Chain A
Amino acid sequence: MSPVIEVRDLRKTYGAGDTAVHALRGLDLTVEKGEYLAIMGASGSGKSTLLNILGCLDVASSGQYLLDGIDTGEFDEEQLSLLRNRKIGFVFQSFNLVPRTTALANVELPLVYAGVRRAQRRERALAALDLVGLKDRVHHRPNELSGGQQQRVAIARALVTSPAIVLADEPTGNLDTESSRDVLGILDRLNASGRTVVLITHEDEVAAHAMRTVRVVDGRVAGVLV
């Protein structure tokens, strides 16, 4: 069985010449299907850059990234947007919900771009919101929801398209302890039901939920902790 994510010698450089910043310096990483991986590292270590590239939000300067066996390096912007839509669910630290738009509409958004019909869209979005325990909040707007609830809406949005991987960039970074527990609980359950989850964190308690933890130091994987 091929891995969901296979990264070879990944490099990312911002700027050029003397002022160039090397965020990633030849990073290798493999994530198997159904895995629950935590990426840890100091700030500036390149872990966020890595996750952005894994989520196809950013493009690497060089190196190879195979997602679900597909080489993303040859993809143009149009095909990348398709990948983001079908294969990837991304959860941000700052939630990133569309403002002035109900939870339901936010969760439906990826399905709209996937061209799913209205009735089916509604059904799947409601199911996803039910999964994160927000069935009674579907018509609330982001500003009417607590941080934890907003993050749960964001998770529902990430998983509504049944993506190959769920990527989470410090999903509990802006949340209090109780909300964090809720969110991590949801991610645990997602993984338990077979979904591949990759998350970034700098908290050991969060990393403890993962099956495997990798540490990124200076743009490379420094070591694998079990």
Chain B
Amino acid sequence: MRIFEIAAFAVRGLTANKMRSGLTTLGILIGVASVIMLIAVGNGASSAVEQSISGLGTNILTISPQRAQPGGTAKPLTAADAAALVGPDSPDVKYASPVVSAQATAAYGDTTHDVGQFIGSDPQYFSTTNSAVASGNLFSANDVQQARKVVVIGSTVATQLFPGTDPVGKPMLVNNIPFTVVGVLAAKGSSGLQDADDVAVAPLTTTQNALTGYGSLTQIVVQAQSADALPNAQAQVTTILNGRHKVTDTADYRILSQDQLLTARTATTETFTVLLASVAAISLLVGGIGITNIMLVTVTERIREIGIRKAVGAPRSSILGQFLIEATLLSLFGGFLGVAAGVIGSQFTIAGIQPVIVPSSVLLAFAVSALIGLFFGSYPASRAAKLRPIEALRHE
């Protein structure tokens, strides 16, 4: 019964100074909204990474060159290595695609575009990376053999360089070397940290001829017969490469399965999420200190009023209750608006990342904001309640 009356006093206290209450609420609002949004961004990034990696398939091994160990010499990975990986000695390997990547600037007419990833490989590369063609054709094994200057471009490159026109059959300059666009890949969407559609794929031979030279491959992408055959395929690949590279103790290459890649990338994005969340938590804390500050000011400003209330018989508990309710209402209201702002803000793509809300973070942020009110409000409230009536009344 009386708790409602005390709550009504608290509400009246808050509405009496709307500007101040509003600004305090804003502090909590920003804290809560940023916790929700930043965690959602981190979560969105990691789920995008997961998606893009699992999009590659679970039966993929990536072999990349390692720097030489002291005292040893590192042999480059070559197209011949890749070719040797498919054969009777490795029944569990389905394909092995040699991959080189290059820095490239593409141009069409007056338009230029820095391609995110310019890749030289063979036609199998498209199937191992789950890339489908949207228009035109992929290049063929024959194109690779003949080192024809053909290129398949991703949808981002297509829209950047050929807005409004069909790129298929058009000439495109790559680092001033003329290529012909033969196909456009279907859009895959952003993979979190990079745009998977900002890509161009040309035959391995052509790329080495024109752009990278004949050094080591960037990677060999191996596709196993199935996901279950992956460990066997990895063993067979290791045996073949060790034989070819005459490895005695430390290998001059590194084999990563999708699982490992996923684990490594997930760990990175988790760190990223934790970092974002701690920044957000700090802003929530600052909001809490803001509440303490405002409540202290409120208490000091209203010491006389507290004296009056005590003089007419307000017990300590009701004064304590009134100011605690004021602080909690401020932070709950701010928390509620913050949840709304965070959820609305998470609907937008932020820095190329589609945020994915973690429901527990919403709950957590809201609960923490309520606790902040209680915790940070309790000090000023107990100070108010402890005042002797005559001291409070004499305060000017």
| B16 and A113 within 8 A (CB) | no
Tell me how far the C-beta of A188 lies from the nearest C-beta in chain B, rounded to whole angstroms: 23
Asked if B109 is at the interface of the complex by the 8 Å CB criterion, the answer is no
Interface assignment of B311: CB less than 8 Å from any CB of chain A? yes
Number of interface residues of B (CB under 8 A): 23
Among candidates B12, B304, B305, B388, residue contacting A58 with C-beta atoms closer than 8 Å: B388
B94 at the interface (CB under 8 A from A): no
Give the residues in chain A near B315, CB-CB below 8 Å: 78, 81-82, 113
Please indicate the chain B residues that have their CB under 8 angstroms from the CB of A59 in the complex.
388
Q: Mark B3-18, 1 if CB is under 8 A from A, else 0.
A: 0010000001000100
Complex CA gap A157/B314 in Å reads: 14
Closest B-chain residue to A121, C-beta based?
B5
Of A57, A78, A99, A100, the most chain B CB neighbours within 10 A belong to A57
Number of A positions contacting B (CB below 8 A) = 30
Contact segment of A84-92, A197-205, A217-225 = A84-92
B301-318, CB < 8 A from A: 304-305, 307-318
> Which chain B residue has the least Cβ–Cβ distance from A52?
B390
Find out whether the CB atom of B313 lies under 8 angstroms from the CB atom of A113: yes
A58: chain B residues within 8 A (beta carbon): 388-390
CA A57 to CA B312, docked complex, whole Å: 10
Q: Does B80 contact A (CB under 8 A)?
A: no
**How many interface contacts (CB-CB < 8 Å) are there between A and B?**
69
> Whose C-beta in chain B lies nearest to the C-beta of A157?
B312
Residues of A close to B309: CB separation below 8 A: 98, 109, 113
A52 contacts which chain B residues (CB < 8 A)? 390
**Chain A positions within 8 Å of B1 at CB level:** 115, 117
Contacts of B308 in A (CB 8 A): 96-98
What's the least CB distance linking A104 to chain B, in Å?
13
Contact of A100 with B16 at beta-carbon distance under 8 Å, contacts A81-B314, A81-B315, A84-B311 already known: yes
Question: CB-CB < 8 A to A46: which residues of B?
Answer: none
B311 touching A90 by the CB < 8 A rule?
Answer: yes
Interface string of A5-45 (1 = CB under 8 A from B): 00000000000000000000000000000000000000000
Answer whether residue A208 sits at the interface, using C-beta atoms and an 8 A cutoff: no
For the complex, what is the distance from the CA of A59 to the CA of B311, rounded to whole Å?
A: 13
Contacts of B314 in A (CB 8 A): 81, 85, 113
Would you call B305 and A110 a contact (CB within 8 A)?
no
* Interface flag for B393 (CB, 8 Å): yes
Asked if B312 and A110 sit within 8 Å, CB to CB, the answer is: yes
Which residue on B lies nearest to A112, using beta carbons? B5
Give chain B nearest CB distance to A51 CB in angstroms: 10
Chain A min CB distance to B11 (Å): 13
User: How distant is the Cα of A115 from the Cα of B3 in the complex, in angstroms?
Assistant: 10
**A160: nearest chain-B partner, CB-CB:** B312
Measured CA separation A109–B311 after assembly (Å): 11
Check if A114 is an interface residue, CB within 8 A of chain B: yes
Contact between chains at B316 and A81 (CB < 8 Å): yes
Does any Cβ of B come within 8 Å of A55's Cβ?
Answer: yes
- Asked if residues A85 and B316 are in contact (CB atoms below 8 Å), the reply is no
What are the residues of chain A within 8 A of B317 when measuring CB–CB?
78
> 1/0 per position for B119-132, CB-CB distance to A under 8 A?
00000000000000
Report which B residues bind A (CB closer than 8 A): 1-2, 5, 12, 16, 304-305, 307-318, 388-390, 393
Interface contacts beyond A97-B308, A109-B309: sample of 5 additional A-B pairs, CB < 8 Å, sorted by A: A55-B311, A78-B317, A81-B316, A112-B2, A117-B1
Q: List 9 A-B contacts (CB under 8 A).
A: A59-B388, A78-B315, A81-B316, A82-B315, A99-B305, A100-B12, A101-B12, A110-B312, A113-B313
